[in-house]
Amino acid sequence: MNYLNDEMVYGKNPVLELLKSGKPVNKVLLISEGQGVRNQEIILLLHARNIPYQFVDRQTLDRLTNRERHQGMLAYVAAREYASIEDILALAEERQEALFILMLDEIEDPHNLGALLRTVDAVGAHGVIIPKRRSVALTGTVVKTSAGAAEHVLVARVSNLVQTLKELKNKGCWVSGAEAGGKNAFEADLTGSRVIVIGSEGKGISRLLRENCDEIVSLPMKGKVTSLNASVAGSVMLYEVLRQRTMHDM
What mean pLDDT do residues 219-226 have? 82
Residue 10: per-residue pLDDT: 84
Residue 203: per-residue pLDDT: 85
Percent of the chain at pLDDT exceeding 90: 47
Residue 250: per-residue pLDDT: 62
Q: What is the DSSP string of 50-116?
A: T--EEEE-HHHHHHHTTT---TTEEEEEPSS--B-HHHHHHHHHHHT---EEEEESS---HHHHHHH
pLDDT for 36 beyond 60? no
Fold of 85-249: Alpha/beta knot (3.40.1280)
Q: What is the residue-averaged pLDDT of the chain?
A: 88
Residue 12: per-residue pLDDT: 83
pLDDT range class, residue 38, cuts 50, 70, 90: low
**Domain edges within the chain:** 3-77, 85-249
Give the model confidence (pLDDT) of 114-138 as tens digits.
999 999 999 999 999 999 888 888 8
What are the CA-CA distances from residue 136 to residues 37, 45, 218, 250 (Å)?
Answer: 30, 22, 24, 38
Which region holds residue 22: left if phi is over 0, alpha if psi is between -120 and 50, else beta?
left
pLDDT range class, residue 4, cuts 50, 70, 90: very low
Residue 7: per-residue pLDDT: 78
Residue 210: per-residue pLDDT: 94
Residue 153: per-residue pLDDT: 93
Residue 37: per-residue pLDDT: 54
3-state secondary structure (DSSP) of residue 195: strand
Tell which CATH classification among 3.40.50.280, 3.40.640.10, 3.30.1330.30, 3.30.200.20 matches the domain 3-77.
Answer: 3.30.1330.30
What mean pLDDT do residues 216-233 have? 86
Give the model confidence (pLDDT) of 164-202 as tens digits.
999 999 999 999 999 988 999 999 999 999 999 999 877
